[in-house]
């Protein structure tokens, strides 16, 4: 009996097998069952019309798709649920389910949800080295366990590969990991070498297609059994709206890519034109652009594109427009990208208008409005917008000297700089953390820059703290966020929330391929009240920026936006409940009832302070509470149950493994230095809301706030002062205080930043915070059992410590039980904290190092954690009087807990 030879081919299947042999033609992956690639499909999914959405898949199969790409990455969808629902329905349709499925998502949790639903052998699209090798390996193991082939993006810790060398190097690195460590067969590995848009009007993009094609050849030589795929429609993104040109570009690109070794691609199977049937001139122009054969290729294709879209109507050069008004001529020049007459026309307009700035805010802005409308409706393409911006730049250059001269004259007349100039406004642009796509942002920068704005472009993968720090430092007038992948939307919400927390006044612009007006209205705008505006297209940013920076236009513009967004989010609006509050005197009378007669205070083992300069990191790590760590990464659930969670369990496990690997390195190599100081002193309350501490340097009076909301019968209105024996009892009680910090993080953060490793940078910051809290927990345990010794027989494991099953509490100034940060000044003085630990307070009373914790120690067995909640003005007046501070200053610090408007 002869042996059977099984050749190493990529073998996929739905109900029917699909084997990719050496002579297999190019495999079409249908793209229309993708919420980001088909408006119709996205609408059907959002409206829960899943049955009708199956018709989109059926049409793709009928049009020749051999694999079906399914993507549910939409910010307003429950991606996991949508993926499972659709795939389960699809599997019951034999005429669709016969072909293999490509499960496509930028969120691995959605991919895993899909893997649980498909039959046969599918493809996962995609995994990458973006977040490091450990996460890559973990995801690959899961894909392999489901028997799936896997697409690997040419994407590593430093970002997406855009050169031949980077594409090949990243792919080879991933290949070695998958084959040598995970056990993948080479034929089950598919590389996506990143197809980027060309003919955008930006020179750096011109060679992207050539780089992709050359990379295919090298990857095939180096790893011959692997396959090559890519999103073909990306190549023609700059010509969206002109389908004849896009189809021609796709066919020409595939002609050369397939010859180089490309095996499959995500395309609209029903809209591929035969290469030989492309109109010869269009085919030649597409080849020149795709192969980057001459510097004028984009301009030539752009000019021809207009004739194709007009179905043969040739544009005749006509100088009749020169007979129009100067406003009409400027608009025509902007729309058509004509610079030939712009100097003279601008000078004519300058002489006509009272001020040179009026030319920018008048006819030039009106022209850009037209450009924005045309671009937004698909009647204008990216290269044209760039040309329009260049016209604008030339015009502004003519006007700038006159604007500066006018500014100087007004300075002399007014004695100060009284001129408001659009050219002086700074606009910060950034692609948010985790995202490397920036073409839209670049175009926005070009357009706004040519309108005289000072553009600060922070680039890609920018974390929220850097965006806001730079915005403050540079005193920007607008912040603009961009993102393409769906997770970027979550990061935009975070930035808006941080802008509110940090009291930003500048408006926020939202843009990018996956952003939408609806998501902005529902998710982002509610987080920041000072103005959030979704910008549909790059050129529209000019109009929006102009409206936001005009003192006359801004109020009405924002009113209109807020009304529009209010209507969009009305289904999400929360109804505010009506609460009742006690007069402050009544709240004080309803304090915690403690049997002080039977109370026996425990005297600490020492009075004064004790410092800890360095501590074993391994000992501290045992006290880590992992719950808040996952919240930092926006994964919600209790630890360790979150690791098994049906929705986020896989991601949580990967994150946990990554964190522990880094934590081991931190501990083994002693990256961080823990420092702390604790102290105990005799103390008594006044029976109300003040505690007097007998400090070595004299008495210190601490002030606390009290719950004021009306409670149910027998429920007290609590203040921390209730837990210290009143002076009238004649019993000497005590109060403790502490400050803990983790030093030494900065050089490691800089090293990660230099390596473009945001993942580990954020991981390190999160772990440092957790270590600070863990050190706090460790010291609190020693306080209870040793230093104060009021619970010497305590035996609690870490879970019980996390559940706070111990006696006594350690509330922190600025947090719910004592929300006034200014009391932190007294705490620092009592502990001589800066001298003892190096920890300092900023102007806003934040602690530095950032991974620091401070608070009070209360030993009373009746003490418990609580939140003061909202308070009324009568208590605030009393509190300000006790502190000897102006009411206005107290209200500023207590604003988050005030029940009334200041």
Give, in order, the Cα–Cα distances in Å from 702 to each of 586, 821, 833, 872, 886. 22, 12, 17, 20, 17
The pLDDT value given to residue 901: 66
pLDDT over threshold 70, residue 620: yes
pLDDT band for position 619 (cuts 50, 70, 90): very high
Q: Tell me if residue 571 is catalytic.
A: no
Name the active-site residue from 73, 156, 435, 689: 435
The pLDDT value given to residue 244: 87
pLDDT band for position 438 (cuts 50, 70, 90): low
pLDDT band for position 537 (cuts 50, 70, 90): low
pLDDT tens across 203-223, in order? 888 999 999 999 999 999 999
The pLDDT value given to residue 277: 66
The pLDDT value given to residue 292: 94
pLDDT over threshold 80, residue 50: yes
pLDDT over threshold 60, residue 319: yes
Lowest-pLDDT range of 271-280, 457-466, 886-895: 271-280
Question: CA–CA separation, 38 vs 86, rounded Å?
Answer: 15
Q: Of 174, 158, 76, nearest to 126 (Cα)?
A: 174
Spatial neighbors of 560 by CB under 8 A, at least 6 apart, are none
The pLDDT value given to residue 843: 64
The mean per-residue pLDDT over the stretch 45-56 comes to: 88
Helix axes 487-501, 464-474, angle to 10 degrees: 40
Residue predicted with more confidence, 902 or 702? 702
The pLDDT value given to residue 447: 63
pLDDT tens across 61-71, in order? 877 788 999 99
pTM of the shown model: 0.48
CB 458 within 8 A of CB 430: yes
Q: How far is CA 135 from the centre of its chain?
A: 19
DSSP state of 881: H
pLDDT band for position 712 (cuts 50, 70, 90): confident
pLDDT tens across 861-879, in order? 999 988 898 899 999 999 9
pLDDT over threshold 90, residue 764: no
The pLDDT value given to residue 5: 55
Name the active-site residue from 437, 734, 748, 780: 437
The pLDDT value given to residue 634: 57
Share of the chain above pLDDT 70, in %: 86
DSSP state of 821: T
pLDDT tens across 154-191, in order? 999 888 898 999 999 999 999 999 999 999 999 999 99
The answer, yes or no, to whether the previous bond of 646 is cis (omega within 30 of 0) is no
Residue predicted with more confidence, 312 or 84? 84
Spatial neighbors of 359 by CB under 8 A, at least 6 apart, are 346, 349, 350, 353, 395, 399
Q: Tell me if residue 465 is catalytic.
A: no
Residue predicted with more confidence, 467 or 409? 467
pLDDT tens across 271-289, in order? 666 666 688 889 999 999 9
Name the active-site residue from 423, 488, 547, 851: 488
The mean per-residue pLDDT over the stretch 533-549 comes to: 80
Q: Which long-range contacts (CB under 8 A, 24 or more apart) does 822-829 make?
A: 822/883, 822/885, 822/893, 823/702, 823/703, 824/854, 826/700, 826/702, 827/737, 827/739, 827/854, 827/855, 827/856, 828/739, 828/854, 829/700
The pLDDT value given to residue 116: 93
Spatial neighbors of 666 by CB under 8 A, at least 6 apart, are 617, 672, 764, 767, 771
The mean per-residue pLDDT over the stretch 100-129 comes to: 94
Residue predicted with more confidence, 643 or 6? 643
Question: CA–CA separation, 504 vs 464, rounded Å?
Answer: 13
pLDDT band for position 1 (cuts 50, 70, 90): very low
pLDDT tens across 546-579, in order? 889 888 888 999 999 998 888 887 754 544 445 6
DSSP state of 140: H
What's phi and psi for 740, nearest 5 deg?
Answer: -125, 140
> Considering the chain, what is the average pLDDT of its residues?
85
CB 138 within 8 A of CB 653: yes
Q: Tell me if residue 488 is catalytic.
A: yes
The pLDDT value given to residue 6: 60
Question: CA–CA separation, 647 vs 143, rounded Å?
Answer: 16
């Amino acid at each position: 009996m002869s042996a059977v030879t099984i050749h190493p081919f990529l073998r996929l299947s739905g109900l029917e097998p699909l084997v990719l042999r050496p002579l297999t033609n190019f495999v079409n992956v249908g793209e229309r069952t993708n919420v980001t690639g088909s408006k119709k499909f996205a609408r059907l999914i959002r409206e829960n019309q899943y049955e009708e959405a199956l018709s989109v898949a059926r049409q793709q199969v009928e049009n020749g798709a051999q694999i079906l790409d399914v993507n549910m990455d939409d910010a307003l969808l429950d991606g996991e649920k949508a993926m499972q629902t659709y795939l389960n329905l699809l599997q019951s349709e034999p005429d669709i389910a016969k072909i293999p499925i490509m499960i496509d998502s930028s969120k691995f949790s959605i991919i895993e949800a899909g893997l649980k639903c498909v039959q046969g052998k599918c493809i996962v699209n995609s995994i990458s080295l973006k977040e490091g090798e450990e996460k890559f390996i973990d995801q690959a193991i899961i894909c392999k366990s489901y028997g799936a082939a896997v697409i690997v993006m040419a994407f590593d810790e430093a970002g997406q590969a855009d050169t031949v060398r980077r594409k090949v190097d990243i792919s080879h690195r991933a290949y070695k990991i998958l084959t040598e460590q995970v056990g993948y067969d080479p034929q089950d590995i598919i590389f996506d070498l990143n197809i980027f848009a060309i003919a955008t009007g930006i020179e750096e993009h011109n060679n992207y297609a050539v780089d992709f094609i050359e990379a295919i050849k090298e990857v095939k030589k180096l790893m011959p059994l692997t396959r090559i795929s890519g999103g073909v429609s990306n190549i023609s993104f700059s010509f969206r709206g002109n389908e004849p040109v896009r189809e021609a570009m796709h066919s020409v690109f595939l002609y050369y890519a397939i010859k180089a070794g490309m095996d499959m691609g995500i395309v609209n199977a029903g809209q591929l034109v035969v290469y030989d049937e492309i109109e010869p001139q269009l085919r030649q122009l597409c080849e020149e652009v795709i192969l980057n054969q001459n510097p004028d290729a984009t301009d030539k294709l752009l000019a021809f594109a207009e004739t194709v879209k007009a179905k043969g109507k040739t544009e005749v050069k006509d100088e009749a427009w020169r007979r129009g008004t100067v406003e009409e001529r400027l608009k025509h020049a902007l729309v058509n990208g004509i610079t030939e007459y712009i100097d003279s026309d601008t000078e004519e307009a300058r002489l006509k208008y009272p001020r040179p700035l009026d030319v920018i805010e008048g006819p030039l802005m009106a022209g850009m409005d037209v450009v924005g409308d045309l671009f937004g409706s698909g009647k204008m393409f990216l290269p044209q917008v760039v040309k329009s911006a260049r016209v604008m730049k030339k015009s502004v250059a003519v006007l700038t000297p006159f604007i500066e001269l006018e500014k100087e004259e007004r300075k002399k007349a007014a004695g100060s700089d009284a001129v408001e100039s659009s050219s002086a406004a700074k606009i910060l642009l950034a692609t948010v953390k985790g995202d490397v796509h920036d073409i839209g942002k670049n175009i926005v920068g070009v357009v706004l820059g040519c309108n005289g704005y000072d553009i600060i472009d922070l680039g890609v993968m920018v974390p929220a703290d850097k965006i806001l720090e730079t915005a403050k430092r540079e005193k920007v007038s607008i912040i603009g966020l961009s993102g393409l992948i769906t997770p970027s939307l979550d990061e935009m919400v975070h930035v808006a929330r941080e802008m509110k927390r940090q009291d930003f006044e500048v408006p926020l612009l939202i843009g990018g391929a996956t952003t939408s007006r609806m998501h902005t209205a529902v998710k982002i705008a509610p987080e920041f009240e000072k103005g959030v505006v979704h910008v549909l297209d790059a050129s529209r940013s000019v109009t929006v920026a102009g409206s936001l920076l005009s003192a006359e236009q801004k109020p009405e513009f924002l009113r209109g936006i807020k009304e529009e967004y209010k209507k969009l989010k009305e289904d999400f609006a929360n109804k505010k409940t009506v609460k009742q509050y006690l007069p402050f005197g009544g709240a004080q009378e309803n304090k915690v009832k403690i049997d002080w007669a039977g109370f026996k205070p425990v005297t600490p083992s020492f009075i004064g302070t004790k410092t800890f300069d360095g501590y074993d990191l391994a000992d501290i790590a045992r006290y880590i509470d992992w719950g808040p760590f996952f919240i930092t990464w926006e994964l919600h659930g209790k630890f360790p149950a979150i690791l098994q969670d049906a929705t986020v369990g896989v991601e949580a496990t990967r994150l946990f493994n990554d964190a522990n690997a880094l934590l081991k390195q931190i501990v083994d190599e002693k990256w961080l230095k823990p420092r702390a100081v604790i102290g105990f002193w005799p103390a008594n309350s006044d029976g109300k809301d003040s505690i007097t501490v007998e400090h070595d340097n004299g008495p210190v009076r601490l002030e606390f706030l009290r719950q004021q909301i009306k409670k149910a019968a027998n429920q007290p209105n609590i203040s921390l002062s209730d837990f210290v024996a009143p002076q009238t009892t004649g019993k000497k009680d005590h109060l403790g205080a502490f400050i803990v910090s983790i030093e030494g993080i900065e050089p490691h953060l800089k090293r990660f930043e230099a390596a473009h490793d945001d993942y580990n940078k954020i991981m390190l910051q999160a772990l440092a915070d957790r270590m600070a809290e863990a050190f706090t927990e460790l010291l609190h345990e020693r306080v209870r059992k040793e230093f104060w010794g009021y619970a010497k027989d305590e035996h609690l494991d870490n879970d019980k410590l996390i559940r706070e099953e111990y006696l006594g509490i350690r509330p922190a100034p600025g947090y719910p039980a004592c929300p006034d940060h200014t009391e932190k000044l007294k705490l620092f003085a009592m502990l001589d904290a800066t001298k003892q630990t190096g920890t300092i307070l900023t102007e806003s009373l934040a602690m530095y190092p950032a991974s620091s914790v401070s608070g009070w120690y209360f030993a009373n067995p009746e003490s418990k954690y609580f939140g003061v909640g909202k308070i009324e003005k009568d208590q605030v007046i009393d509190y300000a009087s006790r502190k000897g501070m102006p009411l206005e200053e107290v209200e500023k610090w207590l604003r988050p807990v005030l029940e009334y408007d200041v």
